[in-house]
Amino acid sequence: MSLTQAEEEFSSALMREKGEQYELLPTDDPEASINSPLFTVRHVYRSSPTKITPLGVYYVLEGVIYKAPSARSLMKANVARTCQGLVDACDELKKCARYSPRTGYYWDFESKSSKSSETPEERSMETEGEILEDFKKRAKIARTSRRVLDNRRMGERSEEEEEGIRAKEKMNSILFRLKASIAKV
């Protein structure tokens, strides 16, 4: 009896049996599979000759058996890795965020390394003298130059400003949901 005939007879005998079975999956190149250190084994439950329910896939690499990950666990790992990357990016951006009472929040990417030893409160606060000096400079410029004002009422916004506010709110809600999902993982 040849090797192919023995394999066919064995597979037909397995089809008649019911219960849990382990199948050695063939490779694309039969000659390479003989010398290959990698084998794939499928764990199935056979309830009839035609109905098979897969229970798991295993890899045998140089005599060590590894369980193949499920599609769910692969997706979960990819999402967790992506969320962690976003958290790291936000942490780096947080280091560059500054707050000034006169102008609000702004980004300072150049002084990130020079002020890294300060606490966030020290970085965001300006001295009273710096604020007063800047106010005096602005007042002097305002007296000497003509200011162009638009004719909008107080609190009225342009379409671009409204769109920017909506985009900011959407981005904040996305970041909040990502942060909540990371906290669950």
Domain ranges of the chain: 3-68, 75-148, 152-185
Residue with the larger pLDDT of the pair 114 and 18: 18
- The better pLDDT of the pair 35, 124 is held by 35
Mean pLDDT of 175-185: 74
CATH superfamily for 3-68 is Mediator complex, subunit Med6 (3.10.450.580)
Q: Which residues, in sequence order, are CB contacts of 55 under 8 Å at separation 6+? A: 20, 43, 44, 45
Average pLDDT of the residues in 80-104? 86
Q: What average pLDDT is seen over the chain?
A: 77
Alpha helix ranges (H) inside the chain: 3-16, 30-35, 71-96, 120-124, 128-144, 159-184
Whole-prediction pTM value?
0.40
**Integer Rg of the chain from CA:** 33
The share of the chain scoring above pLDDT 90, in percent, equals 15
What are the tens digits of pLDDT across the range 21-48?
988 887 776 666 567 788 889 999 999 8
